[in-house]
Structure 1
Amino acid sequence: MKRIIGIILGALIISSLILAGCSKSTPSPAQPAPAPTPAPAPTPPAPAAPATIKIGAMLSITGPDAPTGVPAHFIFQYAIDEINRAGGVFVKEFNKKIPLEIILRDNQTDPEKTMAAAEQLNADGVSVVIGTTLAGISGGIFEKNKLTLLVSQFDAVAPTRQGLKYFFDTSKLNSGTSAAIFQLVASLPKEQVPTKWAFFEEQADWVAELASFMKDDAAKLGIEFSYAGKYQMLAPDYSQLILGAKNSGAEVLVAAPVPPDAIAMLKQMQQLNYHPKAIIFFRAIGDPTWANLGALGDYIIGSSEWDTHLAPNDPTVQTLITAWHNKAGEKAQTGGIGPAYALVQIVAAAIEKSGTLDRTAIRDAIAAADTDTVVGRVSFDEYGIRKDTALVVQQWQNGVQYMVWPYGPGYDTKSVIWHRPTP
C-alpha cells in the first residue's frame, strides 16, 4: 500500500512540474533597437547676392531728343536714390534688400547708335532696361537677348504690333496723341474749328504714322488736310511748305518738329505773312528753352504723355517738380518727369514680385503688373502697351505752359485759346 501511495505522489509531483513548465510564456524574439531620429537637414544658405541690381538706361543725353533724355536720366537717378536710402529692393532669392544701380547708355538720338547701345546693355549684364523715345526702335534686339525694355515717350504704334514679348511702353502712342487733339477739338463750338488743316511732315516713320492717324481722325469731324508737305530734320528753309499751306487755305498747322525746326518755321511764317488760327507742334514745345521765345512761342498747342496738372495735389508730384526745378531751373518742363519716375517704380515692383534677378521672371512680372505709380495705376495689354493712358493737351499762354485737356475732378485745367492772336 505504501508503495502505491509513493507512486501516486511521485506522479503528482511530476505532473505539477510539467504544468508549471508549460505555464511559462515563450520569450519573444529580440526586437532591433529603434533607429535614431535623423537631425533636420540644414537650410542651404542663400546664394551670394550681387552688390547691386543693374538697371540699364537708354536715353538721348545728346542730340535733338536730349530735352527728353536729360530730365529722364535725372529722375531715374532720383527715384533710385530714394529706393536705395531704404536699402534697395528685396529679392527673395537672396533673402535681402539689394541697392539699384543705373547703367547709362547715350544713344545720341541716332538710330545706329541706339542699336549698338542695346547690344552693349545686354553685355553689361543688366537685369532690365528703361528708356525714352528712340530706345523703342531697338525692341528686336532686346527680344533676341531676352532682356526687357520698358519705355515712356515712345509713340510709334507699328513696333508694338511685332509680337515682341520683352517690350513694354507706358506711352499713349500716336493713336492717343491724335485722339487727344480731336477730343479737345470736338469739345469746341463747331463754328470755331476751321475745316482746312495743313501737316508739315518730318521724314521719319513715326511722324508719317502720326500724320495718318490725324488725317483719319480729322475726317470723322469733317476736317480735311488741304496741304501736306515733307521736310528733312534741320532743313534751313521751310518757305515752300509755308506757302503751300497758305495757298491751300489751311487755318490750322500741325507738325512734330524738333525745337530748332519749330523756331525756324515760326520765324519764316511771320516773314511770309502766314498766320494760321491754331498751331499744333508736337515734341518741340516740351523743350526747356521754349519759354524764352516770348510772343513767338505763345499759344502753340501740343500733347505730351503726362502733365503735372493731372495730380496738382499729389505730394510726390510736387516733390518731383521741386527736385527737377532745383536742378534745371524754374522754367524747365515737367511733362516727362512723372513717366520717368513711374518706370523705376514699375521695375522695382516687378523685381520684388518675381523674387529673382532672372530676366524672364522679371519680364513676366511686368506683363502681369498692376502697379500704383505717380502717373496712376499701370497695367499692360497683350501688346505690352499701357491701358487707360491719360490723353493730355497743353498750350503755351503768356510764357507759361498749361494743361488745356482733359477736364475732370481734381485736374488743374485751363481753357484753350483756340484762335491764336496774330503776333
Structure 2
Amino acid sequence: MGSDESSADLTIATTIPQEGAFSSMAEEMEQGYELGVAHIEETLDREVELLVENDQSDPSVVIENLRKMASDADVIWGSFSSELVTAGSSVAEDEGIPFVAAYFAQEAPHRNENYEWTYAAFPKSRDVARSTQGLLETIPEGDRPTNVGIWEPNSDWGEEQSDSWEETLGDAGYDIVLREQYEYGASDFSTMISQSDNQNVEVLLSVPTPPDGITMIEQMEERNFSPALTKFVRAADPQDWWNALDESGEYVCMCPGWVPGMTGNGNEEMWNAYVDEYGLEEGQFIRTAVGGGYNVAQVTAQAIDAAGSTDPSDVQGSLQSETFETVIGSFSFEENGLPTEGELTAPTGQWLDGNQYTIYPETDDDRASDLQYPIPSWNER
C-alpha cells in the first residue's frame, strides 16, 4: 500500500483525538508516536513519514480520515479508546493494511469481526481484571476489602470490562455488592454514590471518560463518599485529571497500559529520548499515553525487521508469529490480534503528589510505590 508520492521508506497513518471527549490524551499520544517514529528510523535505518489527522473523538471522523490516507499507508496506528480504535480497524481490515493499536482494552471485536490485520499491543479487559485482583492481593489479608462496586458505562466495553471484573473478582471470593449502569456524559451521579455508600462499597471500579471521571470525584467529595480504593480506568490516565482535581484526584488508581516505574524493554531509552526531545521539570514524570504510543512503534519496528520488508502481507506474517519486547512487557499475538492470554501483566498506577506511580506489579524503580491504602476520608486529607 506504499505511496508513489512519498519518498519515505515507511509511511504510517494515524488519527489523534485533538478535540472532543478524549482530547486530554492527544498531546501525550502524539509525543509517544513521534518518539516512536524516531526509534523506528534509528532501529531500521529507514525514513518514516507519519501522517496525522484530528479525529475529534468521533468514530465516523476516524474512518473518514483514514480512508483518505489509506492509499499512502504501509501501516496504520490506532487512536484512543476502544470506540475510536475499532472504527480505525474497520478501514485497515477493508484495505488490507497492518493496524497496530494501544489504548484499546475491548476484546469482543477481535472475536466477532474476524480480524486479520488488527493487532492490539495493549492489556485487554481480562488483563485489567487480573491486575485488579493482583493489586488487591498486595493488601495484607486481614486488611483486605471484600465489597466491590462497579459503575458501568452504557457501552460495549463498559459491559465487557464489568463482566470481566465481576467474574474474576467473584471467583476470587470478593462480593460484588453493586453494579449500576450510567450514560456517558451524565452530569449527576448522586444516586450511584448513595447506593454505593449504602452498600458499603470498599472497592470502586469503573471505566469512565476523563470528563465523567472528574465529575464523579467532584460529586463523591461533595457527598463525602470515599471508598478504601478507587480504580478509574481511562478517566485517571491523563494529566488533565490532576489539572482539574488537584489533591482531590489523589490516590485514584488507573490501568493505562504503561505507567512510569516500569523497567526493561526500552524504558530507559524512551525516557532519555523524551527528556532530550521535550524536557521534564524536576520531579515530573512522563505521562502514561506516551508509553502506549512508543510501544506501538516498537511492535511496528520489530515486525518490519523480522519481515525484512514493508510489504503488508510480510508485516502481517511477522505480527502473527513474533514475540515482541516493548516498554509494556513481552508478548505475542493470538490469531485474532489479541495479545496472547496471560503474557501481559496490566500495570496499575496511582496518583501520588501529582504523578502516577507504578504500584502493581512491583518494580525496583524510583517511580514505583507501594499502594497507598486505604484512601484517607475526605476530612482527613
Q: TM-score range by the shorter chain?
A: 0.7 to 0.9
1:420 aligns with 2:375: yes
The equivalent position to 2:295 in structure 1, one of 339, 342, 352, is 342
- Aligned equivalent of 2:143: 192
Shift of 1:176: 0.6
The equivalent position to 1:383 in structure 2, one of 324, 336, 341, is 336
- Aligned equivalent of 2:100: 150
- Aligned equivalent of 1:118: 66
Q: What is the alpha-carbon distance in structure 1 between the residues aligned to residue 191 and residue 258 of structure 2? A: 34
- Aligned equivalent of 2:115: 164
1:207 aligns with 2:158: yes
Could you say if the C-alpha distance between residues 404 and 396 of structure 1 is closer, same or farther in structure 2, counting changes exceeding 3 Å? same
Could you say if the C-alpha distance between residues 109 and 276 of structure 1 is closer, same or farther in structure 2, counting changes exceeding 3 Å? same
**One-letter amino acid of the counterpart of residue 322, structure 2:** A
Higher Rg of the two aligned structures: 1
Q: What is the alpha-carbon distance in structure 2 between the residues aligned to residue 386 and residue 158 of structure 1? A: 13
- Aligned equivalent of 1:18: none
Question: Bigger relative contact order, structure 1 or 2, given CA contacts below 8 A and separation 6+?
Answer: 2
Aligned pairs for 1:17-28 within 5 A: none
Aligned pairs for 1:242-257 within 5 A: 242-257=193-208
1:224 aligns with 2:167: no
Shift of 1:249: 2.3
Q: What is the alpha-carbon distance in structure 2 between the residues aligned to residue 401 and residue 410 of structure 1? A: 13
1:176 aligns with 2:127: yes
Q: What is the alpha-carbon distance in structure 1 between the residues aligned to residue 277 and residue 208 of structure 2? A: 25
3-state DSSP of counterpart to 1:262:
helix
Q: TM-score, normalised by structure 2?
A: 0.86
3-state DSSP of counterpart to 1:404:
strand
Asked whether the equivalents of residues 286 and 333 of structure 1 are also in contact (C-alpha less than 8 Å), the reply is no
**One-letter amino acid of the counterpart of residue 148, structure 1:** P
3-state DSSP of counterpart to 2:217:
helix
Asked whether the equivalents of residues 311 and 411 of structure 1 are also in contact (C-alpha less than 8 Å), the reply is no
Q: Which runs of 5+ in 2 are unaligned?
A: none
Shift of 1:327: 7.8
Shift of 1:305: 0.6
**One-letter amino acid of the counterpart of residue 140, structure 2:** P
Q: What is the alpha-carbon distance in structure 1 between the residues aligned to residue 356 and residue 104 of structure 2? A: 22
Could you say if the C-alpha distance between residues 207 and 324 of structure 1 is closer, same or farther in structure 2, counting changes exceeding 3 Å? farther
Could you say if the C-alpha distance between residues 357 and 83 of structure 1 is closer, same or farther in structure 2, counting changes exceeding 3 Å? closer
Q: TM-score, normalised by structure 1?
A: 0.78
**One-letter amino acid of the counterpart of residue 78, structure 1:** L
Q: What is the alpha-carbon distance in structure 2 between the residues aligned to residue 109 and residue 329 of structure 1? A: 32
Q: What is the alpha-carbon distance in structure 2 between the residues aligned to residue 230 and residue 329 of structure 1? A: 41
Q: What is the alpha-carbon distance in structure 1 between the residues aligned to residue 5 and residue 183 of structure 2? A: 50
3-state DSSP of counterpart to 2:256:
coil
The equivalent position to 1:130 in structure 2, one of 68, 72, 77, is 77
Q: Which runs of 5+ in 1 are unaligned?
A: 1-47, 91-97
Q: What is the alpha-carbon distance in structure 1 between the residues aligned to residue 200 and residue 59 of structure 2? A: 37
Shift of 1:117: 3.0
Alignment coverage as a number of residue pairs? 366
* Higher mean C-alpha displacement, 301-310 vs 176-185: 301-310
1:66 aligns with 2:19: no
Q: What is the alpha-carbon distance in structure 1 between the residues aligned to residue 18 and residue 277 of structure 2? A: 16
- Percent of pairs with identical residues: 20
RMSD: 2.7
User: Following TM superposition, where does structure 1 have runs of at least 4 consecutive aligned residues deviating by more than 4 angstroms?
Assistant: 327-333, 408-412
Could you say if the C-alpha distance between residues 408 and 319 of structure 1 is closer, same or farther in structure 2, counting changes exceeding 3 Å? closer
User: What CA deviation, in whole Å up to 9, does each residue of 1:78-116 have, x standing for no partner?
Assistant: 3324544x5x846xxxxxxx4110111322211222232
Q: What is the alpha-carbon distance in structure 2 between the residues aligned to residue 58 and residue 160 of structure 1? A: 20
User: What CA deviation, in whole Å up to 9, does each residue of 1:34-53 have, x standing for no partner?
Assistant: xxxxxxxxxxxxxx995112
